[in-house]
Amino acid sequence: MPKITFFNLPEDKRENLVHAAKKEFARVPLYQASISNIIKDAKIPRGSFYQYFDDKEDAFFYLLNSHVSSYKQHFLETLRKNNGDIFDAMIDFYTTIITEVKENLQFLRNLFLNMTHRIENVMARSFGENDLNEDFKKISNLINKERLNIQDEDELFHMMQIISSVTFHNIVKKFAGELPFEEALNNYRTEIYLLKKGFVSG
């Protein structure tokens, strides 16, 4: 978590520092990222960086949490737009991720190809499936369960874990294999529709 001095910065200076950090984490994975490059691009003294963040991991996870918060909101909106159809919503959501602007796309690519347990835990919050928390309840309330072959919230939770695993796998496959957009989307759509056959009755 950034220090209070970071949040006290004028908005333009804060955005400048965030942009410099995002640029570096888009260039290389976290373990290869250089604070020197961040401060050079942000045009701030090295000492200033440590007034705002403990280390590069602190800056990275601040960015990651911002992304997750944004994706979480977008996912809820996507569910509403699809009238609670979780399968169609996931296809729309996946499409959004793989068509991100170039810098965000490269940031995500480094993220998914260099996944750690800590990063995975943060990413799981996009779907609110890391535990039966408030985020999961928000998602659950929006899902149309009429024709779903599930008995209770616990089964819904596990269904979401399966869908999340398929989604993560496809994102990694897209980035690792540098698959063309149409191929990546068709692969994902096929797997989601296969899941739909098993989870939807009638």
CATH number of the domain at 167, please. Answer: 1.10.357.10
Q: How many domains does the chain have?
A: 1
Question: Among 168, 195, 170, which residue's Cα sits nearest to residue 183?
Answer: 170
User: Cβ distance 157 to 84 under 8 Å?
Assistant: no
Residue 115 has pLDDT above 90, yes or no: no
Give the gyration radius of the chain's Cα atoms: 19
What does the alpha-carbon distance between residue 124 and residue 130 come to, in Å, rounded to a whole number? 6
For the chain, the average pLDDT equals 91
pLDDT at 131 over 60: no
**Predicted TM-score of the model (pTM):** 0.86
Print the domain residue range for 17: 4-199
Tokens of 121: 């835990």
